[in-house]
Structure 1
Amino acid sequence: MNDELVRGEERLATCLARYAQGEAPFPEGQKLLSWIGDNQDQFASVLSFDLKTCRKIVYDFSCNGDVVIGGTSDPARQTELMFAQMAAQNAPVGVGRYREDRICYQSPQFKVGGEARSQHLGIDLFLPAGTPVFMPLDGVVHSFADNDLPLDYGPTIIMEHNPEPGITFWTLYGHLSRESLVGLYEGKPFAKGEELCQFGDYPINGDWIPHLHFQIIFDLLGKRGDYFGAAKPSQWDVWEAICPNANLILQMPENVTASRQGV
C-alpha cells in the first residue's frame, strides 16, 4: 500500500473516531458544502438537456421490482425493460437514488468484515450507451482507470475542482465507455459545459444497465481512478459527510434521496 493510501486510511479512521465520540466526522466539509450551496445556480447540466425540468422515472432498488440491477440479472433484458418503461412515460432519464440501501450490493464482493457496503453514495442517471456527459463546472482530470471487475465501475474518471482558493473537491463519473479514457491525462482541463465522456454499455461498464454514476467527493482518501460507490449502513453518517448528496450539483426537483430506512 502506498503512502497516499495509508494517509487516507488514517484520515478515515479519524473521521470514524470523531463520529464515535459524538463529534462532526468531517468538519472540513462544511466550508465545501457552503460553497456548493452558494453557487448552485452556476452549475451546468451533466446531460444535453436540463435535469431540473425534464421528466424522469425515479427507481427504487432497495428491493427487487420490475427492473433489477446487478447481481445475477441479465443486463440486456433489464435494459430493455427499463427503457421501455421510460419510453412509455415519455421520460428521457431514469434515476437511481442517493443513500439507497440496495439489494444488489449484498454479494460477497461488497462485504468486508461481514457488513455489506450497500448504501449508495452517488446518483445514477440511466440513458442509452453513448450518451454524452458534460462538465457541471470547470475542472481538471485528477485520475482515471478501467475498473474492469464484474459489477465494478468499468471506465471511470475523477475530476478535481478548485473554483477558488481554499475550495477543492472532486466529482466521479463511473460506468463509462472505454473511448472516454482515450486522450486523457492527469491535469487535463475541461471547461464547464464541455463534453467529458460518454455512457458505457454492458459488459464494458461493469455489466450494468447503461448509466452514469455521479458522485461528489470531499476527501479522496488517497485513491486514484476508483472510489467507494457505496457505504456500510453503520457508517453512513461518516460517509455522508465525505460524499454529500450528488443532487446538490444535479439539482433535480424530484425526491432522489432514499430515507434513512432505505424507502
Structure 2
Amino acid sequence: MTETTDDLAQGEKRLETYLGRHARGEDPMPEAAPLLQWIDAHAGGFASVLSHDLKTCRKIVYDFSRDGDVVLGGTSDPARQTDIMFAQMAQEDAPVGVGRYREDRICYQSPQFKTGGEARSQHLGIDLFLAAGTPVYMPLDGVVHSFADNNLPLDYGPTIIMEHNPEPGIRFWTLYGHLSRESLEGIHVGKAFAKGEELCRFGDYPVNGDWIPHLHFQLICDLLGKQGDYYGAAKPSQWDVWAAICPNANLILQMPENVTASRAGQ
C-alpha cells in the first residue's frame, strides 16, 4: 500500500492551509472541533488499549527530553535499555511505563528527522512500555485504514492505522506503531475490529525499529494523504499546528498522571 501522488498533494495543500491559518493568528484546524467535542462527550466509554486498566494501574512516566538512566533510541543499546527500564518498573511495582506527548526528545536529532535544518523532535503520540508480545486492544470500534512495515532504523516497524466513524460527521484515525510482524498477518484494508477486541501485539527489537518494546499510540484528525505511515513527531516551530492535527492521545487513553510535557518540552 502506497500513497497516491494526488492524495499526498492534496494533503500538502491542507497542511499549508493549517500553517497559513496559524500564521494569521487563527485556529489552525477548526474542522477538528466537532471531533474533540465528541471525544470529550464519550471519554468514559473508551476501552483500555492494554489488559491493564490505564485509568488505575501504577505507572512510571519517563522523561526522554534529556539523558537519564533510560535512553530511548539514538545509538543506545535497546537490549540493555530494556533491561534497565523493566527493572525500574518491577522495583516500583509499575506494570506500565509511559512516554509523554509533546516531549521534545533528544533521540529525534538524527538526520532522518531533520528537514530544512530543524528536527521533527516533538512527540505527537504517547508511548506505552511493556514486554514484547503484549496484546493491544481496540479502544473503540474501527476498521483498518492501512498498514505497513516501516523497517528503517528508528522508524515505526510494523504499523497499523485504524479509521473510526462513530457517528455521522465524526471521522478520525488512531495509529499503532512498533508492532510485531505477526500483527500484520491476516490484516486487510477495511477489516473491522470491535471495541475491546485484540488488534495487534508489541514488537521486539530490532523488528520494531530497534526500540525498547513499546506501543506508539497516536490520535490523528487528518492523515494528509498518507497510508501505513505518519509523522510521529513535529518541528517545535510548528507545534501548535501539529497539535491541532494530532491532539493528545490521552484524550482516549484517559491516564490520570501528567503524561504531557510542558511547552518547553521538560
- Tell me if both proteins adopt one fold, taking TM over 0.5 as the criterion: yes
- SS in structure 2 opposite 1:141? strand
- Mapped to 2, the partners of 1:15 and 1:88 lie a distance apart of 45
- SS in structure 2 opposite 1:205? coil
Select 2:146's aligned residue among 132, 143, 147.
143
Alignment-derived partner of residue 115 in structure 1: 118
Alignment-derived partner of residue 264 in structure 2: 261
Select 1:159's aligned residue among 159, 162, 172.
162
The alignment status of 1:218 with 2:221, answered yes or no, reads yes
> Which amino acid in 2 is paired with 1:101?
D
CA RMSD of aligned residues (A): 0.5
Select 1:64's aligned residue among 41, 45, 67.
67
- Mapped to 1, the partners of 2:55 and 2:149 lie a distance apart of 31
- Mapped to 2, the partners of 1:70 and 1:49 lie a distance apart of 25
- Mapped to 1, the partners of 2:46 and 2:255 lie a distance apart of 12
> Which amino acid in 2 is paired with 1:28?
E
- SS in structure 2 opposite 1:32? helix
Q: Could you give the per-residue CA deviations for residues 150-197 of structure 1, whole angstroms, max 9, x where no partner exists?
A: 000000000000000000000000000000000000000000000000
- Mapped to 2, the partners of 1:219 and 1:167 lie a distance apart of 12
Alignment gaps of 5+ in structure 1: none
- Mapped to 1, the partners of 2:145 and 2:67 lie a distance apart of 36
- Mapped to 2, the partners of 1:163 and 1:200 lie a distance apart of 29
The alignment status of 1:186 with 2:170, answered yes or no, reads no
Alignment-derived partner of residue 105 in structure 2: 102
Select 2:129's aligned residue among 115, 126, 147.
126
Select 2:208's aligned residue among 198, 202, 205.
205
Give me the TM-score of the superposition, normalised by structure 2.
0.98
4+ long deviations beyond 3 Å: none
Of all paired residues, the percent bearing the same amino acid is 81
CA shift, 1:49, in A, is 1.5
- SS in structure 1 opposite 2:146? strand
- Mapped to 1, the partners of 2:34 and 2:18 lie a distance apart of 16
> What pairs up with 1:5-24 in 2 under 5 angstroms?
5-24=8-27
- Mapped to 2, the partners of 1:119 and 1:30 lie a distance apart of 23
- Mapped to 1, the partners of 2:7 and 2:110 lie a distance apart of 29
Give me the TM-score of the superposition, normalised by structure 1.
1.00
- SS in structure 1 opposite 2:166? strand
Alignment-derived partner of residue 81 in structure 2: 78
Q: Could you give the per-residue CA deviations for residues 22-70 of structure 1, whole angstroms, max 9, x where no partner exists?
A: 1110000111000000001110000012000000000000001000011
Aligned length: 263
